[in-house]
Amino acid sequence: MSSTHLKSALTLLGPFIALLVVYCIFGMMNSAMFSKDVLLGLLTQTVIVGTAAIGMTLIIIAGGIDLSVGSIIALCGVFAATLVCPPYSCSPPVVFLATIAFGAFCGFVNGGLTVGLRLLPFIITLGTMQIFRGAGKIVTKGTPVSLPFDVTSYKPWMGGAGIPWGVWLMIMMVILFTLILRYTRFGRHIFAVGSNEHTATLCGVNVGKVKLFVYMISGALAAISAVMNMAKSSQGDPTTAVGMELDIIAAVVIGGASLSGGEGTVLGAFIGALLMTTIRTGCVLNSIPTPVTEVIAGVIIIIAVIIDRLRHRKA
Amino acid sequence: MRGIRKTFGPTIALGRVDLEVFPGEVHALVGENGAGKSTLMKILSGAYLPDGGEMEIDGKIYHPRNPLDARAGGVGMIYQELSIAPHLTVEENIVLGMEPRRGPFVNRKAMRAVALEALAHFDHPDIKPETLAGNLSVSALQLVEIGRSLAMGCKLLVFDEPTSSLAQKDIERLFALIDRLKAQGISIIYISHFLEEVKRLASRLTVLRDGLVIGTRDVATVTPEEVVSMMVGREVENLYPRTRHVQGEKLLEIRDLSGHEKPQSLNLDLHRGEVIGIAGLVGSGRTEFLRALFGLDAVKSGTILVSGKSETATPRDRWQQGVGLLSENRKEEGLALNLSIADNVTLTCLDRFGRGGMLSPKKQRAATSQWIDRLGIKCQGPAQPVGALSGGNQQKAAFARLLEHDVDVLLLDEPTRGIDIAAKARIYEAINEVVTDPKRPRAVIMISSYLPELLGVCDRIAVMSQGKLTRAAPVANLSPHDVMLVATGKTADLP
- The length of chain A is 315
How close does chain A come to B221, measured CA to CA in Å?
41
CA atoms within 13 A on the CB side of B191: 26
Crossing angle for the helix pair A207-233 and A92-117, to the nearest 10 degrees: 140
Does A125 fall in a domain? yes
Does A289 fall in a domain? yes
How close does chain B come to A190, measured CA to CA in Å?
11
Q: Domains, chain B, ranges and CATH?
A: 2-232 (3.40.50.300), 250-487 (3.40.50.300)
CA separation for the pair A315, A306 (Å, rounded)? 14
End-to-end CA distance of chain A: 14
Domain hosting A220: range is: 31-314
Q: Percentage of chain B surpassing pLDDT 90?
A: 35
Predicted TM-score of the model (pTM): 0.77
CA separation for the pair B395, B401 (Å, rounded)? 10
End-to-end CA distance of chain B: 53
| Torsion sign, CA atoms B325, B329, B335, B341 | positive
How many domains are contained in chain A? 1
| A203 with B348: Cβ contact below 8 A | yes
How close does chain B come to A211, measured CA to CA in Å?
16
Which pLDDT tens digit goes with each residue over B421-438? 788 888 999 999 999 998
**Residue A1's pLDDT band (boundaries 50, 70, 90)?**
very low
- The length of chain B is 495
Span of A178-192, A234-248, B170-184 with lowest mean pLDDT: B170-184
Contact A30, A288 (CB under 8 A): no
Which pLDDT tens digit goes with each residue over B228-254? 888 877 777 777 887 778 888 999 999
How close does chain A come to B355, measured CA to CA in Å?
9
Does A12 fall in a domain? no
Cis amide leading into A87 (omega within 30): yes
Nearest Cα residue in chain A from B361: A183
Residues 164-183 of A with CB under 8 A from B: 182-183
Which pLDDT tens digit goes with each residue over B348-389? 999 999 888 889 999 999 999 999 999 989 888 999 999 988
DSSP B489: T
Rg, Å, chain A Cα set: 19
Query: Is residue A238 predicted with pLDDT exceeding 70?
Result: yes
Cis amide leading into B263 (omega within 30): yes
Nearest Cα residue in chain B from A257: B338
User: pLDDT: is B60 or A10 the higher one?
Assistant: B60
**Residue A2's pLDDT band (boundaries 50, 70, 90)?**
very low
Nearest Cα residue in chain A from B291: A202
Which pLDDT tens digit goes with each residue over B111-169? 888 888 778 777 777 778 888 887 887 778 888 888 888 887 788 888 888 877 677 77
Q: Which among A4, A189, A258 has CB closest to B383?
A: A4
CA separation for the pair B400, B343 (Å, rounded)? 11
Query: Is residue B73 predicted with pLDDT exceeding 70?
Result: yes
Nearest Cα residue in chain A from B398: A199
Query: Is residue A184 predicted with pLDDT exceeding 90?
Result: yes
Nearest Cα residue in chain B from A262: B338
Does A279 fall in a domain? yes
Contact B156, B74 (CB under 8 A): yes
Decide if the complex's ipTM is over 0.95.
no
* Chain B interface includes A205 (CB < 8 A): yes
**Residue B5's pLDDT band (boundaries 50, 70, 90)?**
low
How close does chain A come to B321, measured CA to CA in Å?
12
| Torsion sign, CA atoms B276, B394, A207, B407 | positive
**Residue A315's pLDDT band (boundaries 50, 70, 90)?**
very low
* Chain B interface includes A21 (CB < 8 A): no
Neighboring chain A residues of B354 at a CB cutoff of 8 Å: 183-185
We report the CATH number of the domain holding residue A50 as 1.10.3470
pLDDT at B80: 66
Does A266 fall in a domain? yes
Determine which of A6, A178, A199, A258 to mutate to test the interface with B (most B C-beta atoms within 10 Å): A199
Alpha carbon B373 to its chain centroid, in Å, reads: 23
Query: Is residue A236 predicted with pLDDT exceeding 80?
Result: yes
